[in-house]
Chain A
């Protein structure tokens, strides 16, 4: 205490003399310094800013509660993070080629991007799919497409992450069926399905069903995987899209964890023991452009989740307390102007994620503000990770920024700010209610608007956009999805419909309808339907007719 007192006096003296003198001749660049999320910044930080920090209870040791320093005891000294580039476009065949290229380049996990019709449960020949087939990801209509997608990729060797939400059960079922054909049993499968519907309502927009049946589909997956796919992450609770929609770092942590709480509550209400499913919950964050804030964000999120799981839900298994997460560098920070500059942005953002202790990482490609990335751009993005991993040395020490007065103070601040939001959401009856009321959407939208205004008024500089602008004619080589792939995909689908056994399909869909009208776990009926080549659109169609469709509240 005496030390701190002395320090405060010292700081006061410094402020009056040394600083005062300097400011008279050299005023600071701007009046008020803030992080990109608006957290006010001091000039510098000292032990007085972290005086409440208790090392053992607030930081602890790697691989131990509260996991501030990381979820594994050896972190990247044991195994580097999984380098996992999200990709997928056009048809299954083309995506399969890209997957195999990436694996040859040393990528260690797959990440499947699906096109929008697939994400919303429409077949490629649906009228609403017009122009969208194969655009933002690969089109999957039936098990036949999935077989092509993973052709020559041994599913017992790779882990596969699938960005799929509303129809997650269907795609997971197809994955299980393909593995079975390869001779790989379910219990060997490793990977992740995103399966996070709440953030779809809030930020990403690829929802199908109303909240209640959506939550049922999710808890059915929890239960099914708990029994049959012990190595599979059943959900990836995503802050990434919340951040991309314009939230601040604190909001990203808060709303993601609030959604996480809602899933845990739903599963416990469905009769599952918390330790039976919590170890397979995983998370997904963005890595935005404020360097220290992002590092602190990852650490704060990990600590807060552990505290909530232990203190609030009484989880006992260590793995139930660990927040394991995937990170993607923030797509919204990429600029269409001078796209090569994006390589530098991505490098810094990737570094933040590693310093923050991520379990896997996607680095964006320089051309993604313009289109899907080309092969060359993807290669640079992957090389960026490899350089950080193997040349920079940052992976050799665990949580190297811990103990920085600034980082620890910011970590505290983000945890406190997020907890405040979580309490607010709790008082509204939890995140599904807060979403229904539009509270979360409005908070995000406010931040997004503020941010854009700051950029427009040049309170924030975005290099190449509102400052350091260059005259440029874009000569970029875009990846263009051949419009023919839509036709190709539709004719593939027709062929499957022509050759499958219609009666089997009808029976399977009838069973699915009966199951969805009742309360049994839906996974077995969905699995049976995909195996007889029922289409994604048919399966979701049955569920749509029973469950109805979600209508977004008119939040502006």
Chain B
């Protein structure tokens, strides 16, 4: 399938084309960035919602329930579930679909499972680009479920407009989300499994924690109780999710963040491009390797050498351009 066909298919809403594109993205195929570059102007419309939280906090079930509620509200939904890849084999068992069976045949729901393929931070390296593809595909809301391995999963704030952090009533008084270091990234807190003992208390504890933050903010994260098994509290959660994006929009934060994200992305790309270009040139040259040897022997220092190499490169660029 050519890039043009792929792009056409995605824009025409063909699942097969989107699925193929997602594989190219994951496999880091050269066709992927070409397609994404053509699709870029069709993106930016979806509301991206991250769902994160410690293992066993019912993320998949909650994602399913959120989807159900969104479908009731006639929204189309894309779901990306990230599971850890094995550090030993590089393989992965992706089991999140098990819980999502009730949407299995809904044409307006697209579910995709991703392995982290060695990336840390709760997402796969290509999750952001996968989300971009699903955005171009035209889904109204894209739910991104992170690994939830208890590691610090902060990457999701770079990607999502709204981050939902789930937790469950624990055995002790500690808040698991804090232990996992994901407290600060929440736009909405959910204490799931509200039928378990201690749910109210856990909610109160999180609220108390939030009280200690006295900074002036347009959005104060609400704390909701849900039971993802029965769907209790999910409608309120979906209300809060839409309120959050409205608040971002009204306060100008959405635009601000959009600019910030575009800047970050552009700068990262430039940084990569420049470094890549520079290194490609230098690595072939014997004097580069000699310089490294001199640095290692303490005959030269890396500060001076780096400065000189970069300046030479830029000067040469200027001459070329001149």
Contacts and interface: CB of A to CB of B under 8 A. Distances in A.
Interface stretch (A356-364, A375-383, A418-426, A547-555): A547-555
A556 B95 CA distance: 7
Interface in B52-69: 56, 60-61
B99 A551 contact: yes
Contacts of A437: 56
A386 to B, nearest CB: 45
A552 B229 contact: no
B98 interface: yes
Interface in B90-105: 93, 95-96, 98-99, 101
Interface in B257-288: none
A479 B310 CA distance: 79
Contact of B96 (A210, A548, A554): A554
Interface residues of B, number: 11
Contacts of B96: 554
Contacts of A552: 98
Contacts of A554: 60, 95-96, 98-99
B229 A555 contact: no
Contact of B93 (A210, A548, A551, A556): A556
Contacts of B98: 552-554
Contacts of A548: 230
Contacts of B230: 548
Interface string B88-129: 000001011011010000000000000000000000000000
A552 B229 CA distance: 11
A210 B229 CA distance: 9
B61 A551 contact: yes
Interface string A421-459: 000000000000000010000000000000000000000
A517 to B, nearest CB: 15
Instruction: Please report whether the interface of chain A is mostly helix, strand, loop or mixed according to DSSP.
Output: loop
B311 to A, nearest CB: 54
B100 to A, nearest CB: 9
A551 B60 CA distance: 12
Interface string A236-276: 00000000000000000000000000000000000000000
5 contacts: A551-B101, A554-B95, A554-B96, A554-B99, A556-B93
Nearest to A427: B171
A471 to B, nearest CB: 35
Interface of B: 56, 60-61, 93, 95-96, 98-99, 101, 229-230
Contacts of A556: 93, 95
A555 B56 CA distance: 11
B245 to A, nearest CB: 29
Interface string A531-553: 00000000000000000100111
A256 B230 CA distance: 28
Interface string A8-32: 0000000000000000000000000
Contacts of B93: 556
Given A554-B60, A554-B95, 8 more contacts: A551-B101, A552-B98, A553-B98, A553-B99, A554-B96, A554-B99, A556-B93, A556-B95
B93 to A, nearest CB: 5
A436 to B, nearest CB: 9
A554 B99 CA distance: 7
A450 B98 CA distance: 24
Nearest to A437: B56
A556 B229 CA distance: 20
A526 to B, nearest CB: 24
Nearest to A551: B99
A491 B136 CA distance: 50
Nearest to A550: B229
A348 B229 CA distance: 46
A437 B99 CA distance: 14
Contacts of B99: 551, 553-554
Nearest to B60: A554
A210 B228 CA distance: 13
Nearest to B95: A554
A174 to B, nearest CB: 30
A555 B61 CA distance: 13
A424 to B, nearest CB: 15
Contacts of A551: 61, 99, 101, 229
A445 to B, nearest CB: 11
A548 B68 CA distance: 15
Nearest to A549: B102
Nearest to B58: A553
Contacts of A210: 229
A552 B102 CA distance: 12
A437 B56 CA distance: 7
A551 B63 CA distance: 14
Nearest to A438: B56
A269 B143 CA distance: 41
A210 B61 CA distance: 14
B229 to A, nearest CB: 7
Nearest to B197: A429
A434 B117 CA distance: 30
A552 B97 CA distance: 11
Nearest to B98: A554
A437 B171 CA distance: 14
A554 B97 CA distance: 8
Contacts of B61: 551
Contacts of B229: 210, 551
A553 B95 CA distance: 9
Contacts of A553: 98-99
For the complex of A and B, list the 10 residue pairs with the smallest distance between their C-beta atoms, beginning with the closest: A554-B95, A554-B98, A556-B93, A556-B95, A554-B99, A554-B60, A554-B96, A551-B99, A552-B98, A437-B56
A524 B113 CA distance: 47
A208 to B, nearest CB: 15
B105 to A, nearest CB: 12
Given A210-B229, A437-B56, A548-B230, A555 B101 contact: no
A51 B96 CA distance: 51
Contacts of B95: 554-556
Of A210, A551, A552, A553, the most chain B CB neighbours within 10 A belong to A551
A24 B93 CA distance: 48
A551 B56 CA distance: 15
B11 to A, nearest CB: 33
A556 B60 CA distance: 14
A551 B95 CA distance: 13
A57 to B, nearest CB: 36
B8 to A, nearest CB: 35
A556 B61 CA distance: 16
A554 B94 CA distance: 9
Nearest to B81: A554
Nearest to B231: A548
A551 B102 CA distance: 10
A437 B55 CA distance: 10
Nearest to A211: B229
A552 B56 CA distance: 13
A556 B98 CA distance: 10
A553 B99 CA distance: 7
Interface string A397-430: 0000000000000000000000000000000000
A28 to B, nearest CB: 33
B62 to A, nearest CB: 12
Which of B93, B96, B101, B229 has most A Cβ within 10 Å?
A: B229
Interface string A136-174: 000000000000000000000000000000000000000
A231 to B, nearest CB: 38
A551 B64 CA distance: 11
Nearest to B101: A551
A210 B230 CA distance: 10
A132 to B, nearest CB: 18
